[in-house]
Structure 1
Amino acid sequence: MRRVLLAPLFAVSLTGCSLLVQTTPCTEADADSQVSAVWRPADFGGRDAVRIRLCVDDTCEERTSGSPDDPFASLPVRLPDDIGASTVPVRLTVTSVKSGDTVVEDSTRAKLHEQHPNGTSCPPTTWTATFRAHPDKGLTSPEGMKLQG
């Protein structure tokens, strides 16, 4: 008789333990390691008035400034997935589309920060840094950047 009672109790105790160990499922958001520049297109004049070039090490990306009606624009430079917590050189060059003159030129070093877009126990792990491309100050912190005109 005791064997019959112990079997159901053992099954219930295992079920109870598995309920306590439930984990939150991972979302499937994809993300890349990158250094980005963000800006307000209105800060750089008319539609596509300047060309923004952002370089990290020897990898560069560029685009025009965008429409002044847009609240903000961005330009990412993708990094290797395994870059880790490193510091990388960053260069910003902003040139006038009309004249070709350099409007802003700046450089700094970016300390990459670990990000977990799907939660700390879920992949991927990315390494990122973000700067504001400012028309007078060059590469600055995006903290406090107003996204409206």
Structure 2
Amino acid sequence: MGTHRNHRYVRAAVAVTAAAAAVLLATGCQSQGGRVCTLIGAESGVTVTWQPGDFPAGAHYRLCVDGTCQERRDAAFLNLDMPEVTGEKQVTVRLVVTDPAASHRTVYDRSAPFTLRRHAPNGEGCGPVVWSTGVRADPVRGLVSPV
């Protein structure tokens, strides 16, 4: 009898959890006007990625966009948020990679122009609307748009 009672508690707990999740999804995904929206967050800015092994282990990365910079060590990508951007804009992206194991020798220093374009990750009519671009740091071809 104790086992039967435990199964009832488990079923009741699952039912309550499922009902709570449905309420949260229904209330969290409605925009003005009754449109259903996802809840993906996003920021305006530039993201630069590269493949593992493209640069030395422990490398130091410096990403600059129109003179505003961010630095990180041993990363797989860099993102520079630009919350002040409210429209399409051309920016200059520069990535400098240095190797601390080789006296901080620069192993990559490339720059190129890119355009921040409008993105609505939750769908049209749902916020946020951001202005962003993705860039791939290729050791041979330089900074390129991802395919």
Cα offset, 1:23, TM superposition? 4.7
Aligned residue pair count: 114
Secondary structure, counterpart of 1:60 in structure 2 = strand
* Paired residues of 1:34 and 1:128 also in contact (CA < 8 A): yes
**Matches of 1:134 and 1:37 in 2, distance apart?**
10
Cα offset, 1:87, TM superposition? 0.5
Q: Which segments of 5 or more consecutive residues in structure 1 lack a partner in the other structure? A: 1-21, 67-72, 144-149
2:118 corresponds to: 114
Secondary structure, counterpart of 2:87 in structure 1 = coil
* Paired residues of 1:41 and 1:65 also in contact (CA < 8 A): no
**Is it true that 1:95 corresponds to 2:91 in the alignment?**
no
1:65 corresponds to: 74
**Is it true that 1:129 corresponds to 2:129 in the alignment?**
no
Structure with bigger gyration radius:
1
Structure 1 residues 82 and 142: CA distance shift in structure 2, 3 A = closer
Q: Which segments of 5 or more consecutive residues in structure 2 lack a partner in the other structure? A: 1-32
Q: Deviations over 1:89-143 (max 9, x none)?
A: 1111111122211111111111111100111111110011111112233212221
TM-score norm. by structure 2 comes to: 0.70
Q: Deviations over 1:33-87 (max 9, x none)?
A: 0111001121213x32x11111011211122234xxxxxx211011124431010
Moved over 4 A (4+): none
Give the number of the structure whose residues are more often helix, by fraction.
2
Q: Percent identity?
A: 40
RMSD between aligned alpha carbons?
1.8
**Matches of 1:41 and 1:134 in 2, distance apart?**
11
